[in-house]
Amino acid sequence: MRKIKYKITLFFQEVFGFSHSEIRGFFVLLLIMIFLLFLPFLVDFFWNKNKKIENTEKLNQIVAQLIQNDSTDEQNSYVNYPKYQKKYYPKKERKQRTEKSNIPKELFEFNPNEISIEQWEKLGVRNKIAQNIRKYIDKGGKFRTKESLKKVYGFPNELYEELEPYINIPKEEKDKKEENIAEKKSKKSKNIEVFDLNLADTTTLMQISGVGLKTALSIIKYRNKLGGFTSLEQLDEVYILKKRPEVIEEIKKYAQINKNAIKIFINSISEEELSKNPNFKDGMARIIINYRKQHGNFRNISDFKNIKVVTPDFLEKIAPLLSYE
């Protein structure tokens, strides 16, 4: 121990130049600093230890008091503290209490689009649901069927079954706007003269009920691709009319086909132009133009029979469109 003390003293003398008294003072100061550093922990330890004992004793007393009073206060707790009654009621019981109304229940025939909140409550409907229904009606909503009442949020199914025989929703007249539209459609197709579908413009086509500008342009665009309609059945191929058979039937009432109105000049047309025609798809335009280059101009429809890939159905479709000039 003396050797260690001697070495430490020698170290401070050589490094810091301390005397013996200064070295002793340094160690005393160091011990004081260490003591002060740990002092809060020591105080906290002994203070809380005593405090915990006191708190434990108080807690035990409180628990004993609660156990003693539990049997006598359990039934009276709702009476003594009425403001907490709702909190401790079972969920099902609370729901039943909130649904109760001071207005006596009375069943009568009613139109859900016309009755007031008070009348809804007489029928057994909760005030909150009745208010929501009234707001829906006031904003322009309407119940058009009895079953639509079941879609009201929170409307009890049991209550609906009870009220269903008393619901009376009168049949409404057609909306004026719908009547005007129907009337315009009925008048639109009147006084239309029979026209050539291969010569008709947008104005002519738009006279027909169900044909607007977009539909008329689509018909003309497809007609130009074909080089002309050869039959009215080709209207089924117009994309915009595929799901509108009633419009196709309406066009057929007034349209006819003049197969000479539009022609494909087969001896002068280029492969690029011919390939745009839907009748000459799948490379048929290239085959026909190559044949023309090798064998000269076509003289009549019979020349096409020399092309192996040409079928009778194809010839029947294109024959009315071809010009050999």
Q: Please give the pLDDT value at position 177.
A: 46
| Contact indicator for 258, 300 with CB cutoff of 8 Å | no
Q: Which long-range contacts (CB under 8 A, 24 or more apart) does 95-100 make?
A: 98/126, 99/126
* Backbone phi and psi for residue 160, each to the nearest 5 degrees, phi listed first: -60, -45
Considering only CA atoms, which of 139, 140, 103 is closest in space to residue 122? Answer: 103
| Contact indicator for 109, 166 with CB cutoff of 8 Å | yes
Structure tokens given for 80: 């003594």
Q: Please give the pLDDT value at position 213.
A: 92
Helix axes 2-15, 20-73, angle to 10 degrees: 110
Alpha carbon distance, N-terminus to C-terminus of the chain: 132
Give the CA count within 13 Å in the CB-facing half-sphere of 114.
7
Note the helical H segments in 74-192: 77-80, 85-88, 91-99, 117-122, 127-138, 157-163, 176-188
Considering only CA atoms, which of 184, 230, 224 is closest in space to residue 201? Answer: 224
Structure tokens given for 203: 């104005």
Considering only CA atoms, which of 325, 323, 283, 324 is closest in space to residue 307? Answer: 283
Residues 6+ apart with CB under 8 A from 131: 117
Q: Please give the pLDDT value at position 293.
A: 92
Residue at token pair 């160091």: 30
Structure tokens given for 70: 């539990």
- List per-residue pLDDT tens for the chain, 325 residues long: 666 767 777 776 676 676 777 777 877 888 888 888 888 877 777 666 555 556 667 777 776 777 666 555 544 444 444 444 444 445 544 444 444 556 678 888 899 998 899 999 988 999 999 899 988 888 888 888 888 888 888 899 888 888 888 998 887 644 444 555 555 555 555 568 888 888 888 998 999 988 999 999 999 998 888 777 888 888 998 999 988 999 999 999 999 887 665 678 888 888 888 887 777 877 888 999 999 999 999 998 888 888 888 888 888 888 877 888 7
- DSSP, residue by residue, 65-77: HHHHHHHHHTTTH
Q: Please give the pLDDT value at position 87.
A: 45
Structure tokens given for 257: 């086909």
CA distances from 279 to 196, 256, 260, 272, 318 (A): 20, 20, 17, 14, 7
| Nearest 10 degrees: Cα torsion 89, 90, 93, 99 | 80
| Contact indicator for 231, 166 with CB cutoff of 8 Å | no
Cβ burial of 95 (10 Å; 0-12, 13-18, 19+) is exposed
Structure tokens given for 245: 């058979």
Give the C-alpha separation, 232 to 194, whole Å. Answer: 13
